[in-house]
A and B are shown apart, each in its own frame.
Chain A
């Protein structure tokens, strides 16, 4: 295939166009009624291209991308499962996509019913009382959940609780969300196996602690076996437990966070519930809460009226406020609910177990050649600490890049921070045994290459559109737009 590297700005020709609009049949001059002092003076330097130019340009760009549909995408903690095609089609149905968020509730009953059904479905799957679907992504869900936590203490008149406990292995969004929510982060240490050190936790639990953020299985993919003790300790100290739903996939069919004592959680619909990641969104991060926290959820909320119709709540005394302009990423919710309906109450119970089976199968098939720092059955993902044999200097980064040459996406690398050469692998349940075997074969081949011909691995990737981009210069002299690029070239 021919190499294509033009920017859309570079194929622009003055006077060319890619649109057609109806003729202006109003005998008014609206813009003329706006004083010139309020109108744009600066030239508008945007591409002028034909429709076919646009289609070819972005099709060519898409060819330089790798998605789940291209190949296996074992990116740890991201749950890159298959994104069912029918869901895309349903979400674009005009009967839903044409709805204005402020049109009268009685004219949007189908959308509100779907919204309410998804709230109920997630509540049942999570073992919690109620969900808000307003948050737009996982980190936004974390922030919303922490606002619920703070609002809970505020309504009790307890203003001393300004700290939140976060494990040192947590995803970076946890402490960052706490910061945005105005909470001070206190780190709790992990034991060598990655689990929370209960003895380290105990002295931290005083009356300044609002709660704890955890995920279970934890960041290393291992189940926190002392969860019930932790829940009791935190509750006894007056705090709440927050569950980071990034790792919810292995629990589907097996464990409900509410039953483990969690009071608040978010779910990434774009992980566990199969909606596409879109190259970094739009996602959706619904937040579920226990019964005593329902009234604290953000507005708007969708409710079922006594007569069976559906309505919208926009105000509530106890509500924490609002975190979204309207209802959240409704289009994403439609896809997630379509997925839940496709599987149904029985097949959905297979999701967690098959994801766990796949992860353990890969782990057991590779642990002779890659360093497995924590023994035991993992859940949906696990972490290798690089190659078992590090003598040739081949790093996790090198292995990751070599995988690209073999047609696989790389695992998550250098996270968690617990190990120097972390390589976090999450296969998800939608991958077949044949795909796992191909991946295992390639991982073994790369380990052998690393031993026998280390330079070939260090030079990887060799077959991708670009290789070894200069990230240092990119950060030192940022070029963030076409205009800046032109200036830099002059």
Chain B
């Protein structure tokens, strides 16, 4: 019995068993205790041919409703140029493993080097790693980096304006790892730095994490924050959106020690939450505390420029429990995604994406306020995402929108809706969205 993924014919098996010197494949499992040998049936459907499989997925796909997305909250519907998926389908890229053999992995190693260069440039930091799983885990590991870099300090601060699901992952990691976590409160939609000095004065703060654009879409003003933290011998990590950094002040410009976040905004499909792309970039002095793979340039024996995995003395396969992190596989192919996206868009394209998104968001904001049914919550600068208050029945409105093919704002607090607009949304769609919400 052979099938399309297992090529063994009966004749093959007979020849192989003879070479091994056993009478049956079962004999190769003779060392398995009899009481644990599985003799039942798996609770699975019968195998499907390719046409049947396609049909099954088509049926399930029809049970989904792909909407015109006006929600954000950590996942944004940016446009993905056609070229990217075609290049990612090069199977020399996607069927390779981690580049352990540099001689036959220069493709992977070079794109990671380019990716690191682009992330460094966007964030204004000196060095980036080869990727993390997602923004939240990158944030948690950035906290560990700050603790590892500090001397005998075991507390970190996180702004309450950071996305709640990112804070939840940070809290989980800190709790199990044994790092104390304190929230910096929010005030008027931004981080309340008024309490920062009092917290720093306690002398046990290894680092502070604040968002560049926060959960309300507001661009935070971090003037002077890094200096205050550094005076207390702590570090600053800025959670940021790499696409937005084409137009917003970078973590480097804010004088941060670490930049981290999610690269999904670099044109990645929403894909129901993943795969996305975590990233970490840092100043040189934190490099050896950085988790994960790092690619460096070097030369081969003929002097040819080439790329290798480097600084591996930080990593789990060398240092085991003394490593900076346990991360092994990361999101390499999504790093290629980001690299191709940034190459296509270039500096002007990234700025244009932000300009279109920002203009659209301001247009929607103004249209909503003009209806009289939505009200401003904060009067602060925003980029592509914002929050408004409403007395409308949000559940009914969002159900009505979904019935008409739209995903409305995400209700982040009772009666408070968060909207996001990307360059994919048109003025007509915005007008329709507003009209539908009033009709609901």
Q: Which residues of A contact B50 (CB under 8 A)?
A: 86, 342
The bracket for how many chain B residues form the interface is 35 or more
| B135–A125 CB distance below 8 A | no
Do A432 and B103 touch across chains, with their CB atoms under 8 A apart? no
Partner pick for A469 among B69, B102, B246, B315, CB 8 A cutoff:
B102
- Do A142 and B326 touch (CB < 8 A)? yes
Minimum distance in angstroms from A21 CB to a CB of chain B: 5
Q: Does A40 lie within 8 Å of B96, measured CB to CB?
A: no
What residues of chain A lie closer than 8 Å to B161, measured between beta carbons?
none
B38 and A259: CB pair below 8 A? yes
* Cα of A172 to Cα of B329 in the assembled complex, Å: 13
Given A67-B96, A101-B75, A330-B271, check contact A22 B36 (CB 8 Å).
Answer: no
Name the CB-closest residue of A to B315: A172
Q: Report chain A residues within 8 Å CB of B336.
A: 58, 279
Chain B's closest residue to A110 (CB) is: B63
Residue of A26, A140, A185 with most partner-chain B CB within 10 A: A26
Q: Min CB distance, A419 to chain B, in Å? A: 16
Residues on B with C-beta less than 8 A from A364 are: 19-21
B285 smallest CB distance to A (angstroms)? 13
The total of Cβ contacts below 8 Å across the A-B interface reads: 707
Which residues of B, 260-302, contact A by the 8 Å Cβ criterion? 262, 269-276, 287, 293-302
**B104-133 interface (Cβ within 8 A of A):** 104-108, 110-111, 113-114, 116-118, 120-122, 124, 126-128, 130-131, 133
- Which residues of chain A are near B295, meaning CB under 8 Å? 480
Interface residues of A in 395-412 (CB under 8 A from B): 400-401, 404, 409-410, 412
Min CB–CB distance B73 → chain A (angstroms): 6
The digit string for A465-479, where 1 denotes a CB below 8 A from any CB of B, is: 111111101110011
Whether A324 sits at the interface, judged by CB under 8 Å, is: yes
Task: Find residues 353-391 in chain B having any chain A CB closer than 8 Å to their own CB.
Answer: 353-363, 366, 381-383
Is B346 engaged at the interface, CB distance under 8 Å to the other chain?
yes
Distance of A125 Cα from B35 Cα, bound (Å): 17
A233: Cβ under 8 A from any B Cβ: no
With A and B bound together, what is the CA distance between A397 and B12 in angstroms? 32
Which residues in chain A, 80-113, are within 8 Å of chain B measured between CB atoms?
A: 80-84, 86, 88, 90, 92-104, 106-111, 113
Tell me if A192 counts as interface (CB < 8 A to partner B): no
Give Cα A124 to B38, complex, Å: 11
How far, in angstroms, from A17 to B349 measured CA to CA in the complex? Answer: 8
Decide if B332 touches A281 in the complex (CB within 8 Å). Answer: yes
A306 to B54, CA, bound (A): 28
Query: A48, A98, A180, A471: which contacts B347 (Cβ < 8 A)?
Result: A48
A432–B12 CB distance below 8 A = yes
**Complex Cα–Cα for A17 and B342 (A):** 11
Instruction: Check B439 for interface membership: any CB of A closer than 8 A.
Output: no
Answer yes or no: A240 CB below 8 A from chain B CBs.
Answer: no
Shortest C-beta distance, B432 to chain A (Å), equals 15
- Give Cα A93 to B60, complex, Å: 11
9-residue interface stretch from A201-209, A346-354, A444-452:
A346-354
Question: Beyond A181-B177, A361-B16, A474-B297, is A322–B172 a contact (Cβ under 8 Å)?
Answer: yes
Partner of A324, one of B3, B4, B134: B134
Q: Which of A83, A96, A171 contacts B61 (CB 8 A)?
A: A96
Q: Which residue of B lies closest to A358 (CB)?
A: B16
Residues of B contacting A317 in the complex (Cβ-Cβ under 8 angstroms): none
Tell me whether A176 is interfacial, beta carbon within 8 Å: yes
Cβ B102 vs Cβ A95 within 8 A = no
CA distance in complex: A108, B64 (Å): 5
Contact A44 B350 (CB under 8 A): yes
- Shortest Cβ gap from B2 to chain A (Å): 9
Least distance between B28 CB and chain A CB atoms (Å): 5
B333 within 8 A of A: yes
Verify B334–A147 contact, CB threshold 8 A. Answer: no
Residues of A contacting B355 with CB < 8 Å? 24, 30-31
- Among A5, A25, A31, A467, chain B packs the most CB atoms within 10 A around the CB of A31
Contact partner, B329, options A90, A227, A280, A346, Cβ 8 Å: A280
Whether, in the assembled complex, A297 has its beta carbon less than 8 Å from a beta carbon of chain B, the answer is no
- Given A62-B93, A62-B107, A325-B166, A99:B221 Cβ within 8 A: no
Pairwise interchain contact B89-A61, C-beta atoms closer than 8 A = no
Is A321 interfacial (CB 8 A cutoff)? yes
* A79→B98 CA distance, assembly (Å): 13
Instruction: List 10 tightest A-B contacts by C-beta distance, closest first.
Output: A344-B47, A326-B273, A95-B61, A321-B172, A30-B358, A278-B333, A67-B95, A101-B273, A65-B107, A110-B63
Inter-chain pairs besides A279-B94, A326-B74, A357-B13, 11 sampled, C-beta below 8 Å: A19-B349, A51-B83, A58-B111, A62-B92, A69-B95, A81-B5, A225-B32, A255-B36, A280-B332, A348-B44, A466-B300
Instruction: Sample 26 A-B pairs with CB under 8 A, ordered by A number.
Output: A16-B346, A18-B343, A21-B349, A27-B363, A28-B362, A34-B381, A40-B253, A64-B107, A81-B5, A101-B270, A114-B60, A136-B133, A173-B316, A279-B93, A281-B133, A282-B331, A282-B334, A332-B274, A348-B42, A353-B26, A356-B28, A468-B301, A469-B103, A480-B296, A480-B297, A483-B117
